[in-house]
Structure 1
Amino acid sequence: MVAIKLTDAKIKTLKPQEKVYRILDSDRLYIEVRPTGAKVWRFKFTFNGKESSMSLGEYPAIGLADARQLREEMRAKLARGIHPVEERKQLKQAKEEVFTNTFKVIAEEYAKERLKTKSPGYIGQFYASLEKDILPVIGSKDVREVTSADVLSVIKNTMKRVRSQSNRGTGEVTAIQNRKFIGAVMRYAIATLRAENDPTYAVRDVVARPDVNHARPLTREERIIVRTKLESYGGAETVKNAGLMLLYTMLRTIEVRRMEWAWVDFEQRVVNFPKTAMKKSRDHILPMSDQVFELLKTQYKNSGNKKYVFPAVYQSDGMLNQMTLNRMLKYIGLDAVSAHDFRATASTLLNEAGYEEKWIEAQLAHADDNKTRASYNHAKYLVDRRRMMQDWADMVDGWKE
């Protein structure tokens, strides 16, 4: 290594050679001239008895005076027992973590790792909550810096958004769900050593879940209205058929909405719902009554070339919107009735008519307390349930005036 007192003028005269060569300035600062023509400042030092060197940047972006100043800063770090190269690596890693440790990144990883067994509907709900309410507030924040105040902000914004949309409620349930989603992601971050606390705990009681309006059986007058007016419903035939399907089958609204043609077996006259489509995550068989069989044949003409039996009216590749069914009930004059009341009506009237409770419970797809028994019970009582469902469909048709 050649030792000369460098000046800017001298540095400019240094020409590249076939091999790298170095010119020492002073106090172990030197410039390295590479065959490419690049001139790089380097500082040689000793730490714990071991020789090391580090780059201080490229000339002319880093001038002579800058290089000497940086050398002095590195010497000051060494005097304090700090290894300047290791410190630089740690700072670089910290900067990278700002982008890889955000709530958004952790949330996406959580969904991929922990939601594998959840239903498509639940996963869709998680991503919708992220997009609508959560990520706009904390998506870009380092997961370690998410505070209870941030979570409270998400809660308040969620309720404001829901309340601004007509017929969507007051927002408490959605806000609570968003808090739970945030908590799940934060606990995953803690488990993977990327966070230390769950900020949702401090705000767990900020919003109270509203009282649940439990399903009730329809009155005689309401039964007459729903069956008679559905028959003459002037809206989309798909909406009408979905409403009749709810009446005839004791299915939940979401189960009717997400029903796929791939599950419909006209030859065996059953609909085979996979566990991913059911609220209780268990397979379910729906035996078709004559009315359901004819209804599905009619609906096949409308949507047989689509994935869903009852697709969205204006979006053929999506499910029918729940609000569409609610608006249909309102349109026919049943503001105080929910689709879930149809299940309560069937359960009440069939029990009163003397049908076996276990048949009714199986048809309602309620969870069996004995999980081992429930794993193979989805097809049990099928013959009895088929007869019961035919009787039920006849009862429903008997409501027409």
Structure 2
Amino acid sequence: MATIKLTDAKIKTLKPQDKVYRILDADRLYIEVRPTGVKVWRFKFVFNGKESSMSLGEYPAIGLADARLLREEMRAKIAKGIHPVEDRRQAKQAIDDKLTNTFKVIAQEYAKERLKTKSERYAEQFQVSLEKDILPIIGNKDVRNVTSADVLTIIKNTMKRVRSQKNRGTGEVTAIQNRKFIGAVMRYAIATLRAENDPTYAVRDVVARPEVTHAKSLSKEERAQVRTRLENYGGAETVKNAGFMLLYTMLRTIEIRRMEWSWVDFDERVVNFPKTAMKKSRAHILPISDQVYDILKTQYDNSRNKKYVFPAVYKSDGMLNQMTLNRMLENLGLNDVSAHDFRATASTLLNELGYEEKWIEAQLAHADDNKTRASYNHAKYLIDRRKMMQDWANIVDSWST
């Protein structure tokens, strides 16, 4: 290794050669010139009787004065019994941990690894909860530093948000769900040795689940109001058509929102819902009545080039918002009617009219505990359900007369 007292001028004159060569400055600081032309500062040192070296950065990003200052800093560490290379590695690891040990990073890893077997709806709810309520509070926080106070803040904020939406909910169910989602991520972090405590445990009893309000069958007056007012609805045609699908089909709102054009078979007059789209993860067939056929043909002109039959009004690549149909009912002045009430109404009236209970249950997509029997009945009742659904659509239309 050549030894000269380096200056910036001298360093600039150093040219690359076929092999690496080094020029010593002073006190074991030298610059290494590589065949590529890259110039790297290196510092040789002895720690616990063992000689080592380390890089101090590239020239000219690290100038001569900076390199000498860094050398002195490394010598000071050695004097204190600190290995400079190990100290740098630990510092870098701390920075990496801060970036990769956040609640957001681990939550997304959890979703990828642990939600594979969950339904599409569950995974969607998890992501919505993260974006709306959880990540704004703890997303960038080291998962080890998430506290029960943080979880309590999220619970309170969630209930406040839900109540502000005037959707007949007080937010307890959503808040409890958010707490459970946070707990699942925290336990995953514990299992993967990145956290030690689950802060949701201490606040598990802060919010009590409200009593379940069961869907009700609409009165004769309410049936007439909803059919007549929906006919005259002045909002978006897609929302109006989705509203009529609720009346005619006995589908859940999530099933209407998720409906894709690839599932619609106009020739066979059915909509084939895959199991991933259904609440109970069972495939479902919707027979298309004349009224539903007309709705789908009209909607085809609106959204044929989109994935969803009933896409979001202001976001063409997404589905209708989960509150859109309830808001539609509010706009119709039906504040005491929920979308789920239509299913209850159809079930009640069809049972009263003497239709087979098993046809009605199949149309409601209520899961049979016996999977083999459920699959058999699913196909067996299709002809019967097709006639029943046409009768039901005619009954719905009679409400407006």
TM-score, normalised via structure 1 length: 0.84
Whether the aligned pair in 2 keeps the contact of 1:224 and 1:399 (CA below 8 Å) is yes
Q: In 2, Cα distance between the equivalents of 1:134 and 1:362? A: 37
Using a 3 Å threshold, how does the CA distance of structure 1 residues 399 and 196 change in structure 2: closer, same or farther?
same
Using a 3 Å threshold, how does the CA distance of structure 1 residues 311 and 21 change in structure 2: closer, same or farther?
closer
1:61 counterpart (63, 66, 72): 66
Question: What's the offset of the Cα at 1:337?
Answer: 0.9
Q: In 1, Cα distance between the equivalents of 2:250 and 2:388? A: 11
Q: SS of 1:285's equivalent?
A: strand
Q: SS of 1:88's equivalent?
A: helix
Answer with 277-286 or 110-119: which moved more.
110-119
Which runs of 5 or more residues in structure 1 are unaligned?
none
Q: SS of 1:61's equivalent?
A: helix
Whether the aligned pair in 2 keeps the contact of 1:33 and 1:39 (CA below 8 Å) is yes
Question: What's the offset of the Cα at 1:37?
Answer: 6.6
Work out whether 1:144 is the aligned partner of 2:140: no
Question: What's the offset of the Cα at 1:376?
Answer: 5.6
Q: In 1, Cα distance between the equivalents of 2:328 and 2:31? A: 79
| 1:351-366 superposed matches below 5 A | 351-366=351-366
TM-score, normalised via structure 2 length: 0.84
Using a 3 Å threshold, how does the CA distance of structure 1 residues 298 and 52 change in structure 2: closer, same or farther?
closer
| 1:67-86 superposed matches below 5 A | 67-68=71-72, 70-77=74-81, 83-86=83-86
Using a 3 Å threshold, how does the CA distance of structure 1 residues 236 and 73 change in structure 2: closer, same or farther?
closer
Work out whether 1:43 is the aligned partner of 2:45: yes
Using a 3 Å threshold, how does the CA distance of structure 1 residues 122 and 168 change in structure 2: closer, same or farther?
farther
1:136-177: per-residue Cα shift (whole Å, max 9, x none)? 211111112211111112222222333334447332222222
1:237-261: per-residue Cα shift (whole Å, max 9, x none)? 3333222211111101111122122
Question: What's the offset of the Cα at 1:344?
Answer: 0.7
Matched residue count: 385
Q: In 2, Cα distance between the equivalents of 1:252 and 1:363? A: 11
Aligned position for 1:31: 29
Kindly provide the amino acid, as one letter, of the partner of residue 244 in structure 1. Answer: F
Question: What's the offset of the Cα at 1:327?
Answer: 3.1
Question: What's the offset of the Cα at 1:23?
Answer: 6.5
1:104-151: per-residue Cα shift (whole Å, max 9, x none)? 111122222223344444433322322222222111111122111111
Kindly provide the amino acid, as one letter, of the partner of residue 31 in structure 1. Answer: L
Using a 3 Å threshold, how does the CA distance of structure 1 residues 347 and 165 change in structure 2: closer, same or farther?
closer
Question: What's the offset of the Cα at 1:180?
Answer: 1.8
Work out whether 1:105 is the aligned partner of 2:105: yes
Using a 3 Å threshold, how does the CA distance of structure 1 residues 31 and 14 change in structure 2: closer, same or farther?
farther
Question: What's the offset of the Cα at 1:382?
Answer: 0.9
Identity, % of aligned pairs? Answer: 72
| 1:301-340 superposed matches below 5 A | 301-340=301-340
Using a 3 Å threshold, how does the CA distance of structure 1 residues 251 and 51 change in structure 2: closer, same or farther?
same
Aligned position for 2:277: 277
Question: What's the offset of the Cα at 1:15?
Answer: 5.4
Aligned position for 1:159: 159
Whether the aligned pair in 1 keeps the contact of 2:143 and 2:195 (CA below 8 Å) is yes
Q: In 2, Cα distance between the equivalents of 1:33 and 1:397? A: 88
Question: What's the offset of the Cα at 1:54?
Answer: 4.5
Q: In 2, Cα distance between the equivalents of 1:98 and 1:320? A: 37
Whether the aligned pair in 2 keeps the contact of 1:282 and 1:378 (CA below 8 Å) is no
Which runs of 5 or more residues in structure 2 are unaligned?
none
Q: In 2, Cα distance between the equivalents of 1:70 and 1:242? A: 70
RMSD after superposition: 3.0
Aligned position for 2:241: 241
Question: What's the offset of the Cα at 1:22?
Answer: 4.2
Q: In 2, Cα distance between the equivalents of 1:21 and 1:302? A: 74
Q: In 1, Cα distance between the equivalents of 2:106 and 2:43? A: 39
Q: In 2, Cα distance between the equivalents of 1:22 and 1:322? A: 70
Whether the aligned pair in 2 keeps the contact of 1:359 and 1:384 (CA below 8 Å) is yes
